[in-house]
Structure 1
Amino acid sequence: MLRAVGLAALAVLLAACTSAPAPVPSPAPPPPDLRKFTTQTLAWSPCGEALDCAHLTVPLDYAAPDGKTVTVGLLRHKAAKQRIGSLVVNPGGPGGRGTATAASLAKTPAAAPLLDRFDVVGFDPRGVGTSEPRITCRTAAEQDADRASDVESDMSPAGVQKQLAETTAYGAKCAEATKYGKEFLANVGTRDVVRDLDVLRAALGDEKLTYLGYSYGTQIGAAYAEAYPRNVRAMVLDGAIDPAQGLVESLVKQAAGFQDALNEFTEWCACPLAGSTEAFQRLVRPLITKPLPAGNRKLSFEDAITGTFAGLYARGDWPALKAALAQVGQGNGRTLLAFADDYYQRDRDGRYSGAIDAYFAVRCVDHNRLTDRAEITRAHESMLAGAPFLAGGTPDTSELDICSTWPVPPTSAEHVPRVEALPKTLVISTTHDPATPHQQGVDLAKQLKSALLTYEGVQHTVFLDGNACVDRAGITYLIDGTAADTRC
């Protein structure tokens, strides 16, 4: 910013010295005409008990709205009485399906007051789930093979080069296997999801948006608040992401968040096989060279780490995680592998939802790109310093390598959101959230001038999960707009 101001001042000074006429600034291009999208009639049809489904048509590229179109999958549960409007929901990811979240909320007792007053509408962001086209990279067999390989554990020069070759090939596969290829990948980021969200608001007939976003869904919400602040009615952002954090910083802090959750788990567990970080490492490091039998598959070291990640997301999963780690000590990796399968969204028939491919495709265009190998190595070291339980393999660091050679450039960059005329929003952040550490929620609340609800616990996202204090505060806010800083 300072450099830009300096250059502008210099230009004015030179113009004065030469007596040349001041240049006339070019007029800003008019915004694209999106009326054919914002006024579309959604063709709802039954797709379950008290549920309707539809597809929203949006431009593939908002810079060329008269060109190709893509669709966004929708699911709705209609308000039972005294309808206020629509409550649009997204579960995060990137790669999470809002349609599945809306269907789940329709059966959630804690959500009953919202089901009375709102049409609960879930959307699958472009490229995800029931949206078309869907981001596609690896086949199921290729994904299984990648998980079984512990190439990430080889940090020798040759191992690093092999990792880089594999991640470069991965990006190329995404461009080749996804319909519209690079053109689509260049338009799947949060920038474009936010534009789709405003088209959805208009097509639903809502003058203003009421929104519930979890995890990455909070990033969508914050970006929408910046782009369309006057179109916001109310927003709950749970498991908040700080949009000012760069890719490296977010991964380093997330790794530390999982270490914090593991520390809480080991204190609770008091079990000999996973009663400390050192004990956990002694349990899983042998898998680097000798994977464990897990039914007709095997549990690799990377899957053991990923399965542990998955088991740390919510305290309610800790008894099952404890049993899974005990099984590993007995030579059986089946349950911990099931945790990893759940994380990767692999079903019992071996099919993947595509969420992991969508995750990388969105993250790689949402952040400034890091290509310097020395910086990437330092980032890996920082992750391990803050999360020693990862030593020997760090699943999420492959993201840095994948994004460094991604086939399309970023369309967004991390920054503090600039919001004006934004109504009061509500950020929910958990003190020991492993995936989105508490401070991120504190920071986002300051940036958006939101009310901050702090939940004291070990859990990733909590609203409508049965905590009466949190649920009461969030529901009251969504219905009547009342929100204040509080702790639950």
Structure 2
Amino acid sequence: MSSRTPRRAAAVAAAGVLLALAACSPSSPPESPDPGEPTPAALDRFYDQELTFGACAEYATTAIEVQALSADPTHECARLEVPLDYDAPDGEVASIALMRVPARGEAIGSLVLNTGGPGGSGLSAASTTAAALAQSPMTERFDLVGFDPRGVGASAPAVDCYSDAQADEGSVPTTAIGTTVRWTQEDTRDLAEGCAEGSGGEEVLAHLGTRDAARDMDVLREVLGDEQLTFLGQSYGTRLGAVYAEMFPEAVRAMVLDGAVDPRHDQAERRVASFVAFQRAFDQMAAFCAQQPGCPLGTDPAGATAAFQEIVRPLLDAPVPTEIGPGLDFDAAVDGVLAGLYDSQAWPVIIEGITEVQQGRGDLLQTISHVYAGRDEDGRWPNFPEANLAINCVDEERMTPQETAELRAAVVEAAPFIDPGVDLTEGARDACEAWPAEPTLGFPYAQGLEDVPPTLVVSITGDTTTPYESGAHLAEQIGGTVLTVEGEQHTVVMSGASPCVDEIASAYLVDLTVPAPDARCTL
């Protein structure tokens, strides 16, 4: 076996704690159901359907998921039918894959999960959450239910924009923010056309947004037999939960929203705030590194950004070799570091990866990125990056090339460690500019909700992608209470990492006990 195998294992172990991504923002919404109004009769066949549960292994899309979905024979999977277009319920049907983990004790209902992305697998989330919270009242009193939102994973149709080989080559980027990617109008058109061809057509791409996913979640609630929804959402999942509360306020029982996306921030504001947090995390990692022998960023944390740039900027012209693909270039190196910065436990692995780049190899940083994205050792990728792109394209307002260039500049100003030192205005285009549908989320969303039961918003002081203040803003808009968590990571509730958080979240979800406004926990 390769001498790099132990370091790959280290990356896998560290990156396993990182699975969470930021969310995004939007434009003007379609018509939503009026709160309290009866369900249109045309949707009765969806709300009245019965689920047929069975083994979960066939729902896996990668070898990693085969292992996760086969771990416990008591976990059961099914498919939920929903209309592709809720305005045309007699038309094409979408199939939503879901997993149910039965409660360990007497269930009081279902706890529906979304761990973020957008684009993350809810089936895997249900399995890993059940293991992490094996002794929690949450798993004792609730059936855990995770689902792959429309377009994601085992749901159908699923977004498919490019091949696994192209993903390995890194030849089809899906974002142009804060990177050296130089797009042409033809590039963005080819990307949209490739997604349409692989995903079932332009009509599919037009109905992958958060509002459609929220309507799917209401069908799921009814089919599971729950009069009201109990929901636990993280990162992007807080957007999905907030939009559900806006659309179906009377159908909410309880919501824990962890690592909140600010509903008032547009795309530019959200991304800049996120990269301010990434720079803060990088600086803290650099201070940790400075205390270690042989730190590649030097012994003075104040010089770490310059030291990192000196190491990675040469990759613009000369990528270093990797076992997979054409090598590690500047953008891939930055992606690996960003993925690792989601959790302080990964700092030693990031530092080792930067050292490896100094020595002329890029395997470790590449592995962190691959594990984060879910690539298995057989070379199969989940559709996480593609679904992330597609859902955001339906949610977010389009930016002009000038606005995209301005955002690129603002991002590198907020996080100078990722500054490539080249002109970022050339080829600055919105990856969604040719998407065959207008945005549907509406910005800002979930504003001043008055009919929603008290919610619990969990915010970590050192969250690396959804700043602490975003949780306070979300709580203000939906009538929530903020649980402050001291620590350095992105999201915490589903991990079992904090008995304090677990106890408070359980009391809220099971007994609807809202903590005091000054409640605090520590990681």
TM-score by shorter chain over 0.5: yes
Q: Conserved in 1, the CA contact under 8 Å of 2:178 and 2:409?
A: no
The separation in 1 between residues aligned to 2:459 and 2:358, in whole angstroms, is 35
Is 1:167 aligned with 2:188? yes
Secondary structure of the 1:33 match is: helix
Secondary structure of the 2:453 match is: coil
1:36 corresponds to: 45
The separation in 1 between residues aligned to 2:324 and 2:168, in whole angstroms, is 13
Q: Conserved in 2, the CA contact under 8 Å of 1:153 and 1:288?
A: no
Secondary structure of the 1:46 match is: coil
Higher relative contact order (CA 8 A, sep 6+): 2
2:399 corresponds to: 370
Q: Conserved in 2, the CA contact under 8 Å of 1:150 and 1:300?
A: no
The separation in 1 between residues aligned to 2:428 and 2:508, in whole angstroms, is 36
1:252 corresponds to: 272
Query: Could you give the per-residue CA deviations for residues 95-129 of structure 1, whole angstroms, max 9, x where no partner exists?
Result: 00111000111212465321110110001000111
Q: Conserved in 2, the CA contact under 8 Å of 1:77 and 1:103?
A: yes
Count of aligned residue pairs for this structure pair: 455
Deviation, 1:323, is: 1.5
Deviation, 1:343, is: 2.8
- State the one-letter code of the partner of 1:273: P
Deviation, 1:155, is: 9.3
Q: Conserved in 2, the CA contact under 8 Å of 1:256 and 1:386?
A: yes
The separation in 2 between residues aligned to 1:111 and 1:405, in whole angstroms, is 48
Secondary structure of the 2:211 match is: helix
Q: Conserved in 2, the CA contact under 8 Å of 1:306 and 1:343?
A: no
Range with greater deviation from structure 2 (470-479 or 337-346): 337-346
Is 1:267 aligned with 2:287? yes
Q: Conserved in 1, the CA contact under 8 Å of 2:398 and 2:430?
A: no
Q: Which has the higher helix share?
A: 1
Secondary structure of the 1:34 match is: helix
Q: Percent identity?
A: 42
Query: Could you give the per-residue CA deviations for residues 393-419 of structure 1, whole angstroms, max 9, x where no partner exists?
Result: 89x999961122222211122214142
1:308 corresponds to: 337
- State the one-letter code of the partner of 2:269: E
The separation in 1 between residues aligned to 2:511 and 2:479, in whole angstroms, is 18
- State the one-letter code of the partner of 1:436: T
Q: Conserved in 1, the CA contact under 8 Å of 2:175 and 2:431?
A: no
Is 1:348 aligned with 2:377? yes
The separation in 2 between residues aligned to 1:148 and 1:210, in whole angstroms, is 38
1:66 corresponds to: 90
Is 1:428 aligned with 2:451? no
| 387 and 195 in structure 1: CA distance in 2 versus 1, 3 angstrom threshold | same
Query: Could you give the per-residue CA deviations for residues 341-377 of structure 1, whole angstroms, max 9, x where no partner exists?
Result: 1233222222210111111111111122222x22221
2:211 corresponds to: 191
2:312 corresponds to: 284
Secondary structure of the 2:318 match is: coil
Range with greater deviation from structure 2 (457-466 or 67-76): 457-466
Q: Conserved in 1, the CA contact under 8 Å of 2:393 and 2:432?
A: yes
Query: Could you give the per-residue CA deviations for residues 270-327 of structure 1, whole angstroms, max 9, x where no partner exists?
Result: 1542351111111111111111112254111111000001111111111212221221
Q: Conserved in 2, the CA contact under 8 Å of 1:365 and 1:408?
A: yes
- State the one-letter code of the partner of 1:172: E
2:419 corresponds to: 391
Is 1:487 aligned with 2:508? no
Deviation, 1:136, is: 0.7
Q: Conserved in 2, the CA contact under 8 Å of 1:147 and 1:300?
A: no
Is 1:113 aligned with 2:137? yes
Structure number with greater Rg is 1
Is 1:141 aligned with 2:165? yes
1:334 corresponds to: 363
Deviation, 1:30, is: 8.8
1:9 corresponds to: none
The separation in 2 between residues aligned to 1:306 and 1:99, in whole angstroms, is 25
The separation in 1 between residues aligned to 2:198 and 2:428, in whole angstroms, is 19
- State the one-letter code of the partner of 1:487: R
